[in-house]
Structure 1
Amino acid sequence: MSRFRDRMTGTKYPGSGVAPLPAEEVRAALFAVNGAEKPFRVRHALPTEKGDLVAEWRVLEPAWRSYFVRKQVDRLMKTRMLLDPEKHEVRSLDEEWQVTWLGDTPRLATSRAYGRGQLTTVMWEWEYERDADGHRRRVKVYRFDSRVMKGALQKAVLGAGWTWRGKMYKL
C-alpha cells in the first residue's frame, strides 16, 4: 500500500549512493533554484503559511506581470515546503487558486475556486500558420506547466540526498 500512496502523492526518493546533506545545505540548494529568467521563485514562508519555504509563480512581480496577463494565466499556484532534518525529507503541499485579471493596470482578483494536495496545471496556446509549401501547421505559442517549478525543486532535494514527500491535506 505504501508504494501506491507514494505514487499518488508524488513521493520521490534519492539515489542509492547519495549521502544526505545537512538541512542548511538543502535550504541553500532550494534557494539556488531561483533565477531572474525563471517565472517562479523560492522564498521563506510567512508565519501564516505554516512551512519553511514557499515556491510560487511570479505573477505579481512587475517584470513578469505583463507576461502572465498577456498569456491569460488564470491559476495561481504555490508549493509550501517543510524540511524535516530528522527524517531527511522535504514535505510539500501544493495550493492553487483560480484568478481573474481586472482593470487597465492589471491586478489579480481571486475567486472561490481553490485546490490543495499534489496538483499539476498545464496550459498551452497554439496558432496556425503556413509553412514554405503552403500547408497549414500548428505552432505552439506558449506553454505553462507547473511541473517545471516542481521538477526543479525535486531535483534540488533529491540531489541533496533527501526524500521529496508529497502531502495531500496538511504539512
Structure 2
Amino acid sequence: MGTRHSDAGTRALPTQELRAALLALNGTGVPFSIHETGAEGADLLAQWRYLKPSSGSGATRSQVERTLKIWMRLCPRERVVRAMDEQFEVTRAGHPPGRTVARAHGRGPIRGIHKEWTMEKGPDGRRHRVETFSFDSRDLKNPLRTTVLDAGWTWRGVYRM
C-alpha cells in the first residue's frame, strides 16, 4: 500500500504544524484542494476532480468525470499519517452531457498516467500531434507524501480508516 518512512534523524514536527503544512498546499499550484473533514476517522481530505474531454457526437457523445480523494488521519502517538485512496467515476451521455450512463467507485492505490492527443495541421502544412488531456496521479500524491515525510512522519497507505 505504499508505506514510506522519513529519513533517519529528521525531527518530527508536532501534529498541528504538520496539519498546517498540509493545508498550506492549497494555492501553491497543486491541482487539488485539501481541507479538514468532519468525517469520522479522517482529519484531512485531499480532493481532485477533473473532466476528460468529450468523445463522440450527438446522442452517443459521452464525458467522464473523475474524483480522486485521499483521506488522511494523523496519528500523533506513532507519528504516522494513515492515507486511504478513493476514486469515483461518472460517465454522462448526450449533448450536452447530462444523462448518467455509468458509475464506478473504488478504494486502493491511485496510480496512473493518462494522456490524449489529436492530430492538427501545423503552420508548415504538416500534421502534428497536440496533447488535449493529461492526468498523472503522482501530481496528487507526491506533494502530500513529501510534506508528511519532510515533517518527520511516516506515510502509511491503508484500505480502511
**1:163 and 2:154 correspond:** yes
Equivalent of 1:91 in 79, 82, 99? 82
Question: Could you state the TM-score of these two structures normalised by the residue count of structure 1?
Answer: 0.74
- Whether the 8 Å CA contact 1:126–1:142 is kept in 2: the answer is yes
- Whether the 8 Å CA contact 1:41–1:58 is kept in 2: the answer is no
Cα distance in structure 1, aligned partners of 2:114 and 2:65: 9
Give aligned pairs, total: 153
Cα distance in structure 2, aligned partners of 1:28 and 1:57: 19
**1:39 and 2:31 correspond:** yes
Residue correspondence of structure 1 range 22-171 to structure 2 within 5 A = 22-35=14-27, 37-48=29-40, 50-58=41-49, 68=51, 70=53, 72-101=63-92, 111-130=102-121, 135-167=126-158, 169-171=159-161
Q: CA RMSD in A?
A: 2.8
Question: Could you state the TM-score of these two structures normalised by the residue count of structure 2?
Answer: 0.79
Greater strand share, 1 or 2? Answer: 2
- Whether the 8 Å CA contact 1:42–1:56 is kept in 2: the answer is yes
Q: State the AA in 2 paired with 1:129.
A: E
What are structure 2's unaligned runs of at least 5 residues?
Answer: 55-62
Cα distance in structure 2, aligned partners of 1:20 and 1:125: 41
Greater helix share, 1 or 2? Answer: 1
Seen in structure 2, the aligned counterparts of structure 1 residues 162 and 95 have a Cα distance that, compared at 3 Å, is same
**If you compute each CA radius of gyration, which structure gives the higher value, 1 or 2?**
2
Q: State the AA in 2 paired with 1:44.
A: E
Q: 3-state DSSP class of the match of 1:26?
A: helix
Q: State the AA in 2 paired with 1:120.
A: R
Q: 3-state DSSP class of the match of 2:22?
A: helix
Seen in structure 2, the aligned counterparts of structure 1 residues 115 and 58 have a Cα distance that, compared at 3 Å, is closer
Give the superposition deviation at 1:157.
Answer: 0.5
